Amino acid sequence: MRRVPALLALPLVAAACGTSKAAHTAAEPPRLTQQQFVAAANAVCVASDRRVYRLGRLSLAPAGWAKTATAARLGLTQMEKLRPPAAQQAGFTHLLELGRQLAAGTRKVYDALVAKDYKTARAWQQKATVAETAIHRQARKLGLTFCQQLLTNWPA
């Protein structure tokens, strides 16, 4: 009798392991191929570029910077949903960090303009520009052809 419970327990342990592994796999979407990753990331960049272009030129008016910060966060949120090939993950993680720096810098420009602290606004604008330049370089390393370009002039 003692052997039966032990033998019955083995399938339960094996089933439990299989369930947790299946649940773990189901929680993570599959990684994209390089071609899928480039296409998806470029699509995010195109949409983001168009959103920013439609906002028009930035000025000392804080409202434009608030909209730009919102657009940056939206683009970042969309990009974070992508799962690049494993070989690209570290570079993609770096790209996302640079995107967070750009979004935060843009928000800081807005905050400084609201406070009428133009010196701080200029400093944060420069930091955001540095982050944007780094984003373009990192995008090039990842093969993201559209994301490595400076903003284009979309038709209005």
Give ∠ CA 132-147-138 in degrees, rounded to 5: 60
> Distances in Å between the alpha carbon of 153 and those of 25, 99, 104, 113?
42, 21, 24, 26
φ/ψ (deg, to 5) at 10 = -60, -45
Residue 137 reports pLDDT greater than 90: yes
DSSP states of 37-67 as a string?
HHHHHHHHHHHHHHHHHHH----S-HHHHHH
Alpha-carbon gap, residue 97 to 9, rounded angstroms: 47
Please write the tens of the pLDDT for every residue from 48-84: 888 888 888 889 999 999 999 999 999 999 999 999 9
Report DSSP state, residue 87.
G
Count the alpha carbons within 13 Å of 87 in the hemisphere toward its beta carbon.
6
Please write the tens of the pLDDT for every residue from 101-115: 999 999 999 999 999
> Distances in Å between the alpha carbon of 59 and those of 102, 110, 127?
18, 11, 17
Looking at every residue in the chain, the average pLDDT score rounds to 82
